[in-house]
Structure 1
Amino acid sequence: MILAAWLLASAGAALSQGATAEYDLVIRGGRVLDGAGNPWISADVAVKDGRIVKVGPVKGKGAKEIDAKGRYVAPGFIDMMDQSSRSLLRNGGAENKLLQGVTTVITGEGGPPVPAAELPAYFDRLEKQGIAVNLGTYYASTQARRKVMGDADGRPTPAQLDEMSREVDIAMRGGAFGISSALIYAPSSFQTTSDLVTLARAASRCGAIYATHMRDEASNLIPAIEEAIEIGEKGGVKVEIFHLKAATRIGWGKLMPQALSTIETARDRGVDVAANMYLYTASGTGLEITVPAWVWAGGKDKGLALLKDPKVRERLKKEVAAGPQPDWPNHVAAAGGWDNIMLANGRVEKYAQYQGMSIAKIAAALGKDPADTAWDILIEAQPERATAVYFTIGEADIRTALRRPWVSIGSDAGASIELGKADGDVLPHPRAYGNHARTIAEYVRNNPVLTLEDAVRKMTSWPAERMGLSDRGLVREGMRADIVVFDYAKIQDNATFAQPLRPSSGIDDVIVNGVPTIAGGKPTGARAGVALRHQCVAGG
C-alpha cells in the first residue's frame, strides 16, 4: 500500500510539473555561442514548439532541463557535403552524424536517389519513415544527362539540352537547392562547360546553387576552379566547391595558395563562390578513378569489358605511369604511387582481409602487379563499387584553406546504417565519424588554426546563410531549435584511418527541432528531422 501510494504521488508530481512547465526544454547555465562568431555569453536557452524562445536568464521551468554548466551551447552543426541520401531511407538514425553534433545534412553530389519528378515524394517518404537529422539535397546534372542520353560519351543536341533543362527545372521546383556535378566521374565528366552553363541557367530561375566536385583537384586544379567560376558567372548562380583540396603531392604548398587566390579574385569582382572541406590528408572514392577516363566513353558495361582485356591493360598501365593528363587527373600519380592508395572496401569476401592495406602491399601478397590488383578488385566487386583511400592531401594546405572565412565544413560521407559497422553506403573513412568534432578538437584546441567562435560559425551560421536556411544556424530567439551541447576539453574525433568507424565523443546533448536526440552522449531514438525544401521564388 505504501509503495503504491508513493508511486501514485510521484506520478502525480511529474504530471503536475509537466502541466505547469512553461517551456518544453530549458538548457541552463551554458556558455552560449550564437553561431555568428561572437564571443560566448553565460545564458539559459528556452525551447518551445521546436523553436528557441528565450536566450538569457530563464525563470520558468522546462518539461525537460539540461544542466550545461561548464559546457558550450551552440547551434546544431551543418554538414555541407553529405552522402546520406540513400542510407537515411534504410535507417534514419544517423547516429554517426549526431555524435559529431551534426543536425542538418546537405547531400546530393550524385543527386537524390529518385528522378526529378519524384523529389517531393522522396522528401515525404523520409519524413514519414522518420529521420533524426534535417536533410536538403541538390539535383545532379548527371541525372538529367543520363535520363536523356544514357551513360556514354557524346555531345547533346539542342533538343536534348532543352530536355535536360526541363528536368533541372522540375527538380528545382520540387525542392532541390541547386544542381551538382561530379566531373571526375563518367558520365558527368563528359559534360562540357557549355552544357553545364545551360543547366545552371535553368536552375538560376529558382535562385539556385551550382555545387561541384570539380573536373580536377590535382595538377589542373586552377583551370578546374576557373571552369566552376565561369559556370556560375555565365549561368547566373552561386558556386559551391565541394571538398576543396590540392590533391597531388607534387603540388603541396603551391597549388592551394593559387587556388585560394583564384577564388578570392572572383569574389572581389562579385562572383558568389565559396567552398567546403573535410579535414583529413586522404580522399576516399571508388577504384574506377584509377582508370583513364577514355575507358568509360562507351558506358560502364563497355568500360568493364575493356578493362578485362590484357592488351588494353598494358596500354592503361603506360598511361598511369606517364603521370597527369590534360583530360584525366591521374589519381595514382597524384598519390605518389600505389603505396599511398589504401583499399577501403573490396566488396568481395576474399578481399576483406586486405582492407586497410595499400594496393602495393596487397599486390605483393597476391604476387600480382598493383594495377592488375586494383582493377581485378574493381571488376570483381560489380555491381557494387570497390572503394579506396587516396593519400594525396598535405596537412599544411588544409590549415591554409581552413583559415579562409568563406570555407565551411563538409564530410563527403554518409550516415551509417548501423553505428560502428561498414555498410554499402558508407565509405570506411574517418571523415564519416569524426569530421565535425575534429574541426574543434584538432584545429581549435590541439593545434590551433581557428578560434572556437569561428570554428562554430563555419559549421552553423555560415553554411545556413549559404543555403538560405534563414531559420537555422544561430542560437537566437525565433530560430529552429537545432542545438549542440559539448564539453570543450573532451570533444574528440576518435576515428582514424586504421579504425575509421569509431564515433566521436564529448558531444553530450543534441537537440533537433526542439527534440533531444542525443542525451548524455547516447542516441534517444528520436526522429525529429525534416526534409528541407528549397523554395523556388525567382520566376516561380
Structure 2
Amino acid sequence: IDIAERSGARLQISHLKASGKSNWGKLDGALERLRTGDLSGRPIGADRYPYTAGCTDLDIVLPEWASHGGREVVLARLRNPETRKKIRTELMDHPPGRWDNVMIGSTQFDGFKGKRLTEVAESLDMDEVDALLHLIDSDDLKTGGLFFGMSEKNMWRVLAEPYVSLGSDGSLRAPWGPLSHDHPHPRAYGSHTKFLRAALDGQTVPLAGAIHKMTALPAKQFGLKKRGLLKEGYFADIAIFNPDDLKENTTYANPHQLSDGMRHVIVNGFHILKDGKHTENRGGKFLDHP
C-alpha cells in the first residue's frame, strides 16, 4: 500500500492470504489496512483462490541462504556433503511447519505424486528432511509441493471482501495430452466451480456476487475493455451452467478432472464448449493491457 501511495500505481494484491498458522491472526489487521488505505481515489484490488493449500516449487522450504544463485548453484550446495548437512540441520531445528502438511506435486517420481511427505519418507525409509532433500536434489529442483497452511475461515472471509476477485492461480492444464502429465493443484480445474457451488449453497456471497467476482470485477481491476459484462458492443464471453448439476470433481490426489454442470462456454463469440463437450474451436487471444 505504501509503495502504491508513493508511486501512483494501481494496487492489486495477488494473492490475499495468511499462510502458516502463526500468521492467521494477522488477517484482521491486513483487511483493516486495505479497507482504509488511501490511494487518492484509486481502488485497491486483490484476488484469491478457494483452497487452503498453496503450491510452488518444493525447494521453497530450503533456508534462504541455500536457495540463492540459481539452479546449478543450489544443486551444487545440495550435493556437497558439508553444506547438505548444514541445510539438513537447519531444517531439523527450524521446520517450516508440520511435514504432514506438505504434499508432493509434479515430479519425475510418479509414485510420489499426491503423497504426503510423511508417506514418501516412510516409502524411502528416511526421515522427512532426508526425503525432502532427496526429492529436491534427484529431480533437479523440478519437484513441486502443495503446502496446507491456511485457515478455511480466513479464506471465506477474504473471498467475501468486495474488492477481492476470484482467481485460480492455475496455469494451463488439460486432462488429456501433454498438459495432463504433471500433478497440479486442484485450483487449476475447480476454483470457479467450487466458488459457484459455495455461493449456491449459501456458504459465501450470493450467486450474483460470486459471478461478479469472476467477471466484471477482474475485468475492471486489470483494465480489460469491453470484457466482463453481458452488454451490447462487448466481446461475447459467456458461460452457461446448470446450477443443479454444478460439481467440482478435482481433488488433491487426482487433480486432472473437469467439473460437472458447465453446459456452454463461448469465448470471443466462438462456441468452445457445446452441450458439455469440447468443440475444438479456439476463440481465445492474448489480451493487451491499455
Q: Same fold (TM over 0.5)?
A: yes
2:100 pairs with 327, 339, 359, which one?
339
**What do the CA deviations read for 1:207-226 (whole angstroms, capped 9, x no partner)?**
xxxxxxxxxxxxxxxxxxxx
Report the AA paired with residue 234 of structure 2: M
1:266 and 2:37 aligned? yes
2:256 pairs with 484, 490, 501, which one?
501
1:301 and 2:72 aligned? yes
Residue 270 to residue 375, structure 1, CA distance change in 2 (3 Å): farther
Per the TM alignment, residue 313 of structure 1 is displaced from its structure 2 partner at its CA by 2.7
1:291 pairs with 62, 76, 81, which one?
62
Alignment match, 2:171: 414
Residue 296 to residue 448, structure 1, CA distance change in 2 (3 Å): closer
1:484 and 2:239 aligned? yes
**What do the CA deviations read for 1:399-439 (whole angstroms, capped 9, x no partner)?**
11011000001111112255387646x65211011101111
**What do the CA deviations read for 1:358-412 (whole angstroms, capped 9, x no partner)?**
1122112211121221122112222x62101110111001011011000001111
- Total equivalences in the alignment: 290
Alignment match, 1:393: 150
Alignment match, 1:521: 276
Report the AA paired with residue 386 of structure 1: T
Q: Is the 8 A contact 2:180 2:256 kept in 1?
A: no
Alignment match, 1:282: 53
Q: Is the 8 A contact 1:422 1:428 kept in 2?
A: no
Q: CA RMSD in A?
A: 2.0
| In 2: Cα distance, 1:517 partner to 1:245 partner | 33
1:431 and 2:191 aligned? no
Q: Is the 8 A contact 1:420 1:502 kept in 2?
A: no
| In 2: Cα distance, 1:423 partner to 1:231 partner | 40
| In 1: Cα distance, 2:89 partner to 2:149 partner | 21
| In 2: Cα distance, 1:319 partner to 1:259 partner | 30
Residue 344 to residue 420, structure 1, CA distance change in 2 (3 Å): farther
| In 2: Cα distance, 1:267 partner to 1:498 partner | 43
Q: Is the 8 A contact 1:281 1:395 kept in 2?
A: yes
Per the TM alignment, residue 232 of structure 1 is displaced from its structure 2 partner at its CA by 2.0
Alignment match, 2:82: 311
| In 1: Cα distance, 2:45 partner to 2:263 partner | 31
1:242 and 2:14 aligned? yes
| Partner SS, residue 37 of structure 2 | helix
Per the TM alignment, residue 282 of structure 1 is displaced from its structure 2 partner at its CA by 0.6
More strand by share: 1
1:370 pairs with 122, 125, 128, which one?
128
Residue 345 to residue 231, structure 1, CA distance change in 2 (3 Å): same
What does residue range 38-437 of structure 1 map to in structure 2 within 5 Å? Answer: 229-252=1-24, 254-267=25-38, 270=41, 272-323=43-94, 332-333=95-96, 336-347=97-108, 351-382=109-140, 385-416=142-173, 418-419=175-176, 423=180, 427-437=183-193
Moved more, 401-410 or 491-500: 491-500
**Structure 2, unaligned stretches of length 5 or more?**
none
Q: Is the 8 A contact 2:114 2:183 kept in 1?
A: no
Alignment match, 1:132: none
**What do the CA deviations read for 1:31-71 (whole angstroms, capped 9, x no partner)?**
xxxxxxxxxxxxxxxxxxxxxxxxxxxxxxxxxxxxxxxxx
Report the AA paired with residue 407 of structure 1: V
Report the AA paired with residue 430 of structure 1: P
TM-score (norm 1): 0.51
Q: Which has the larger radius of gyration?
A: 1
**What do the CA deviations read for 1:322-359 (whole angstroms, capped 9, x no partner)?**
54xxxxxxxx52xx321110111222xxx211221111
| In 2: Cα distance, 1:318 partner to 1:266 partner | 42
| Partner SS, residue 105 of structure 2 | strand
1:454 pairs with 183, 202, 209, which one?
209
Report the AA paired with residue 70 of structure 2: G
Per the TM alignment, residue 309 of structure 1 is displaced from its structure 2 partner at its CA by 2.3
| Partner SS, residue 29 of structure 2 | helix
Per the TM alignment, residue 521 of structure 1 is displaced from its structure 2 partner at its CA by 0.6
| Partner SS, residue 345 of structure 1 | coil
| In 2: Cα distance, 1:480 partner to 1:271 partner | 26
Q: Is the 8 A contact 1:420 1:501 kept in 2?
A: no
| In 2: Cα distance, 1:315 partner to 1:269 partner | 49
| In 2: Cα distance, 1:498 partner to 1:411 partner | 18
Q: Is the 8 A contact 2:103 2:145 kept in 1?
A: yes
Detail structure 1 runs of 4+ shifted over 6 Å in the superposition: none
Q: Is the 8 A contact 1:279 1:438 kept in 2?
A: yes
**What do the CA deviations read for 1:420-479 (whole angstroms, capped 9, x no partner)?**
87646x6521101110111111x2123521100100000000111111112010011111
| In 2: Cα distance, 1:313 partner to 1:337 partner | 21
Higher relative contact order (CA 8 A, sep 6+): 1
Alignment match, 1:105: none
Report the AA paired with residue 191 of structure 2: N
Q: Is the 8 A contact 1:233 1:271 kept in 2?
A: no
1:440 and 2:212 aligned? no
Per the TM alignment, residue 303 of structure 1 is displaced from its structure 2 partner at its CA by 1.5
| In 1: Cα distance, 2:8 partner to 2:93 partner | 39
Per the TM alignment, residue 271 of structure 1 is displaced from its structure 2 partner at its CA by 5.3
**Structure 1, unaligned stretches of length 5 or more?**
1-228, 324-331, 536-540
